[in-house]
Amino acid sequence: MDKITALAKRRGFIFPGSEIYGGLANSWDYGPYGVELKNNIKRAWWNANVYQRYDVYGMDAALIMHPKVWEASGHIKNFSDPMVECKNCKSRFRGDHVEKKSATEFVCPHCSAVNAFNPRQFNLMFKTYIGPVEDSSAVAFLRPETAQGMFVNFLNVIDSRHPKLPFGLAQIGKSFRNEITPGNFIFRTREFEQMEIEYFVHPSDGDAKHQEWIDSRYAWYLNLGLKKENLRLRPHDKDELAHYARACTDIEYQFPFGWSELEGIANRTDFDLRQHAQFSGKDLIYTDEVKKEKVYPYIIEPSGGVDRSLLAFLVDAYAEEQVKDDTRVVLKLHKDLAPVKIAVFPLLKNRPEIVETAKRIAADLKKVFVTTYDDTGAIGKLYRRQDEVGTLYCVTVDVQSLEDKQVTVRDRDTMQQERVGTDKLKEYFFNKLSGS
């Protein structure tokens, strides 16, 4: 993890939040390459789950919702973690994460003091106020999940798009949780992004569709390059299921700190629609005109984190390779995820014709592919720099290019080089990068 956080900062993927003020613990800012990688992950998710399907519609709901939403969802009552405090150093921890010395005592992970184990429930929602008066009638919450924005729009989507069961809603957006113990870089933070699908099915199809989504979401991570040996499915035991869930399977990744959840795929039953129907007084039942049947659909929910998957993609892609006497660090990111697809360099920066040709080629490629131009170092250094951010191809313009109108294209992973005619470059990269 130290190598990943150092690379992320050095190369402009992820910076500590508010750093010039001493930093704000567990907040992180995405830099120039980080935001590209994040956007590429979100694009790949949207493409697979919205554009490549006929039955899933995109959404972007408000972040601050009516406070009754959180009563109906159960968050006000149930969205809490057990918290314990060390009497010696005053640190606070999740009661379910500390080492117990006995049934009634725990060991402080910070100062090793032994304390009485008497956890109290701590609600994880961030509270705020709507408008200028900070009284109880103005209380609102930052959403702790994007899901509820989709449940409350169930009727709007039925009325505007007239979908038949099964159909789904998909949304990507920020969520906020006042975590007691955030940590492990961007793995657990208080502000993060989720990618969630709420898939409405006839209750009799619930189990089969649940399995289909588990398979589809697992395949998505594999298709984007995560190594199979670092991914696993973990069905929840009955006693760890959320109060609304009939079943849930996590997709876990083997992070440097151990196997941890990347995404959960739950069968939420008809809990959500029934709750919102009851609290809003609106009829959220689905009417099947052909079967003449009224039913509360079950909801299958694949719910993943953008930041967590970004961390997994970074960790999985990181490689150190021995090249002659040197070690090269390379991010072997999938072509759809790599922040930059092509980098163009002039071999000699004191030859204006070479520099101009390289700049012209870069400008031309930029119109179609994410392309960068760099002439701030010797060629070996420029290659290493691009390897570290996962750039797929490097194009070098040299003296000979001025005569034979060919350039050298170097492949990130194999480091093999080939000469390609400048008039064939776009077609060459179209073939290499199709699907990006």
Where on the chain is the footprint of ligand GAP (CB under 6 A)?
Answer: 145, 147, 177, 179, 188-189, 192, 194, 196, 261-264, 301, 303-305, 307-308
Q: Name the residue nearer to ligand GAP (CB basis): 188 or 341.
A: 188
| Alpha-carbon span 421 to 271, nearest angstrom | 61
How near is the Cβ of 398 to ligand GAP at its closest, in Å? 46
Torsion of CA 22, 26, 32, 35, to 10 degrees: -160
The first and second tokens of residue 390, run together, are: 């996962």
On the CB side of 229, how many CA atoms lie within 13 Å of its CA? 1
Q: Which is nearer to ligand GAP, 181 or 422 (CB)?
A: 181
CA atoms within 13 A on the CB side of 329: 13
Cis peptide bond N-terminal to 166, omega within 30? yes
Cβ of residue 159: shortest distance to ligand GAP, in angstroms? 24
Question: Could you tell me the smallest distance in angstroms from the CB atom of residue 116 to ligand GAP?
Answer: 28
Q: Least CB distance from residue 308 to ligand GAP, whole Å? A: 4
Q: Which is nearer to ligand GAP, 268 or 335 (CB)?
A: 268
User: From CA 148, how far away is CA 183, in angstroms rounded?
Assistant: 26
Residue 239 CB, shortest distance to ligand GAP, in Å, is: 16
Q: Give phi and psi for 101, each to the nearest 5.
A: -85, -35
Least spacing, CB of residue 208 vs ligand GAP, in Å: 21
**Which is closer to ligand GAP, CB of 41 or CB of 409?**
41
Q: Of the two residues 249 and 408, which places its CB atom closer to ligand GAP in the complex?
A: 249
Quote the least distance from Cβ 261 to ligand GAP, whole Å. Answer: 5
Closest to ligand GAP by CB, 266 or 389 = 266
Distances (CA, A) of 78 to 59, 124, 174, 304, 334: 26, 10, 21, 21, 39
Query: Residue 302: beta bridge partners?
Result: 265
Torsion angle (degrees, nearest 10) of CA 78, 81, 84, 89: -130
**Which two three-digit tokens encode residue 331?**
């991010």
With CB atoms as reference, the residue minimizing the distance to ligand GAP is 305
Q: What backbone phi and psi angles, to 5 degrees, belong to 275?
A: -65, -45
CB of 263: closest distance to ligand GAP in angstroms?
5
- 3-state DSSP assignment of residue 58: strand
- Give the nearest distance from C-beta 295 to ligand GAP in angstroms: 22
Instruction: Please state, in angstroms and rounded to a whole number, the distance separating the CA atoms of residues 21 and 39.
Output: 28
Minimum distance between the CB of residue 73 and ligand GAP, rounded to whole angstroms?
A: 9
Which residue, 28 or 33, is less far from ligand GAP as judged by CB? 28
- Of residues 188 and 334, the one with the C-beta less far from ligand GAP: 188
CA dist 233 and 142 (Å) reads: 30
Spatial separation of the C-alpha atoms in residues 286 and 294, rounded to whole Å: 6
Query: What CA–CA distance (Å, rounded) separates 178 from 424?
Result: 53
Residue 188: partners with Cβ closer than 8 Å, 6 or more residues away? 26, 179, 181, 182
Question: What angle separates helix 306-317 from helix 32-46, to the nearest 10 degrees?
Answer: 110
Closest to ligand GAP by CB, 242 or 348: 242
Residue owning tokens 């080492």:
99
Least distance from ligand GAP to the Cβ atom of residue 187, Å: 6
Contact 396, 347 (CB under 8 A): yes
Cα–Cα separations (whole angstroms), residue 258 to 1, 252, 293: 11, 10, 48
Q: How many CA atoms lie within 13 A of 61 on its CB side?
A: 27
Decide whether 146 or 396 has the Cβ nearer to ligand GAP. Answer: 146
Question: Cβ closer to ligand GAP: 38 or 308?
Answer: 308
The least distance separating ligand GAP from the CB of residue 337, rounded to whole angstroms, comes to 17
299 versus 394: smaller Cβ distance to ligand GAP:
299
For residue 193, report the phi and psi dihedrals to the nearest 5 degrees.
Answer: -110, 140
